[in-house]
Structure 1
């Protein structure tokens, strides 16, 4: 990572300072993704309905963290993408938790749209900090994989509950690992400055 951003734009400096101050949120979000992925992979047959409830709670927590991160990044480029993604995650999480999410198909659509929204927002965040952080390719990869995963679910929603559980578990595991790696890269930047 390149900590020397004095010659960069104020927006880039703000985005970098935001990432440095909140590296632990990236870490916590990554750990939640990993735990969720392990749960979905370990118990796919019996976990689909429970998976919908757990995922709703996860969306709420991740949405709150995203919104808080964005509000704390005053002037950072792309922060409104992160805030919007957080707000939508909160709304989808509440709907999934308290609304009529009684079918696998609806769960598939909720997961698909959340994955696409998350992918776009994390890709845009990577674009906003690319001049200050080496390894931003992890954010690009996270974004592209999430969008592709969401599009696949929209294209073939009837692939079955077991397949959905396994796909969601694998997706969450990959995204979680990438977020944890990114968090530690940002943390090392904090320690070196």
Structure 2
């Protein structure tokens, strides 16, 4: 694809962000790869650890939501935030009391996150295709992620270890693609600043 000779303000802002932060794409990819290796090597431990982390996240997020809602006196929608936070706290407590029992819930959360991530990354590729060559990496990342999420929705009862193995494989693929994209961004930044 040819480079746009008169980039839009949005592209210039994205380029400035990439100049300073391309390494964040790389770091994210490395973290995905590390989790993928852990989940493939020790699936039971990885799944249990993820369930506990998920429960802790729900608790912390719920507490912050409740506090934020109570502090926002008179704000529209504060009760939605309050009740959402309360629900998050209750689900988090349930998950902490029996993390093994939360595997199915966790499977659906992974599925939703994978689908949302895939759609977002795919659409990002569509939006930058005129400015960046090599956007195919984003398309592949998006499609792989959506397919993984749909598989989990379609067959959630495939077992906790299978979910952990699938999450590990997904994480490994996404991590590799993110690392490739990080170096593509770095290359773009170097060529744009010459």
Q: Same fold (TM over 0.5)?
A: yes
Secondary structure (helix, strand or coil) at the match of 1:132 reads coil
* Unmatched segments (≥5 aa) in structure 1: 59-90
Query: How much has 1:57 moved relative to structure 2?
Result: 8.5
Check conservation: 1:15, 1:129, Cα contact below 8 A: no
In the alignment, what sits opposite 2:94?
100
Cα distance between partner residues in 2 of 1:128 and 1:18: 16
Q: How does 1:84-99 map to 2 (within 5 A)?
A: 98-99=92-93
In the alignment, what sits opposite 1:152?
151
Deviation per residue, 1:135-171 (Å, 9 max, x gap): 1110111111111111110111000011001000000
Cα distance between partner residues in 1 of 2:124 and 2:56: 24
Cα distance between partner residues in 1 of 2:127 and 2:15: 9
TM (normalized to structure 1)? 0.71
Cα distance between partner residues in 1 of 2:21 and 2:128: 14
Query: How much has 1:55 moved relative to structure 2?
Result: 6.5
Query: How much has 1:17 moved relative to structure 2?
Result: 3.5
Deviation per residue, 1:100-137 (Å, 9 max, x gap): 33321011011001101111111122122111211111
* Unmatched segments (≥5 aa) in structure 2: 58-84
Check conservation: 1:29, 1:176, Cα contact below 8 A: yes
Structure (1 or 2) with the greater helix fraction: 2
Cα distance between partner residues in 1 of 2:55 and 2:132: 32
TM (normalized to structure 2)? 0.71
Cα distance between partner residues in 2 of 1:53 and 1:187: 36
Over the aligned positions, Cα root-mean-square deviation in angstroms equals 2.6
In the alignment, what sits opposite 1:111?
110
CA gap of 1:133–1:100, structure 2 versus 1, over 3 A, is farther
